[in-house]
Amino acid sequence: MPWSTLLQPAARLSAEQGLEDWYGRLLQRLGGAPQPFELALGGRLAATPGLAFLAGYQAALRVLWPAAPWSAGALCVTEGRSTRPADMHTRIDGLHIDGRKDFVTAAECADWLLVAAREDGPGEAPRLVLGVVRQGAPGVRIEALPALPLMPDIGHARLHLQQAQCERLAGDGWADYVKPFRSIEDVHVLAALCAWLHGVGQECAWPEALQLRLLAQLAGCAEVARRCPSAAPTHLLLAGLFAQQRALAAELDAAFAAGPAPWAALWQRDQGLLQIAEGARAKRLEKARQIVARA
């Protein structure tokens, strides 16, 4: 979505026909094959913060795997509330994966699933490979889980794999995919939520100063999205964006309180999206400070 388009009023897309249909219509509105950051800005067209999150999440996946199909996907890492390789039991053997992933975002609409699986031998340090499996393929089963209070319109599920055939992605599963995705997802989801907020601000005639600050946030996200997600300066810049977003909290609360109740209710329900992975960001920030100080 070019900046000029972002600044124009636009009808929002709701998801009465399901997330897969919503995502397909979003791609159509964005021209079919948008660049990842333009897809994140598609959060402007979302009817809810959760749908904006989905736009940012899909954008982040396409940064991680540029050759991804244009259907929706998901990254599957978590096992038993942990993303540490040493805690994973999912295994890959050649072109087949066995195991379980316990928290898969938007799995019900995902056509393809990126699965982190171990390939290390007995006594070796954990070594991850990323394999791609297709929903509905033999040995691939999705178990839908109850909706959460936060972002209830975006479901999550458990993934069961039994000798599921996969495509292996080149590179190290941890260093090249799982680890950098944390920062890639952060910046694209933040951009999608800021685009959604800016759209609400346009529709509700929020103070111009607040709308301009949201645009500045989007410009900052665009810059950070161009940088290496594993570099220490990127983590510092990303922390700055989240600090600026926290500084807007009181203004946003006041703007929502003065406007239509449905928008305020959505924001009250889902604003916690911006606190997801806050602990991990704090650890990355502290490490980045130490690296920059030694340089």
Tens-place pLDDT, residues 221-245? 999 999 999 999 999 999 999 999 9
Q: How far apart, in Å, are the Cα atoms of 251 and each of 173, 197, 206, 209, 247?
A: 41, 12, 10, 10, 8
SS3 letters across 25-72? HHHHHCCCCCCHHHHHHHHHHECCHHHHHHHHHHHHHHHHCCCCCCCC
Task: Place domain 73-168 in its CATH homologous superfamily.
Answer: Butyryl-CoA Dehydrogenase, subunit A, domain 2 (2.40.110.10)
Give this prediction's pTM: 0.97
Q: What is the pLDDT of residues 23-41, one digit of tens each?
A: 999 999 998 889 999 999 9
| Residue 85 predicted with pLDDT over 80 | yes
Q: What's the pLDDT band for 2 if we cut at 50, 70, 90?
A: low
| Residue 249 predicted with pLDDT over 90 | yes
**pLDDT in the model for residue 1:** 57
Residue showing tokens 């924001």: 267
Q: What is the pLDDT of residues 133-162, one digit of tens each?
A: 999 999 999 999 999 999 999 999 999 999
Question: Would you list the domain boundaries of the chain?
Answer: 3-64+176-294, 73-168
Q: What's the pLDDT band for 8 if we cut at 50, 70, 90?
A: confident
Q: What is the pLDDT of residues 162-187, one digit of tens each?
A: 999 999 999 999 999 999 999 999 99
The amino acid at residue 249 is A
Q: What's the pLDDT band for 10 if we cut at 50, 70, 90?
A: confident
Residue 197: which of 156, 235, 251, 233 has the closest Cα?
251
The two tokens of residue 285 are 């920030």
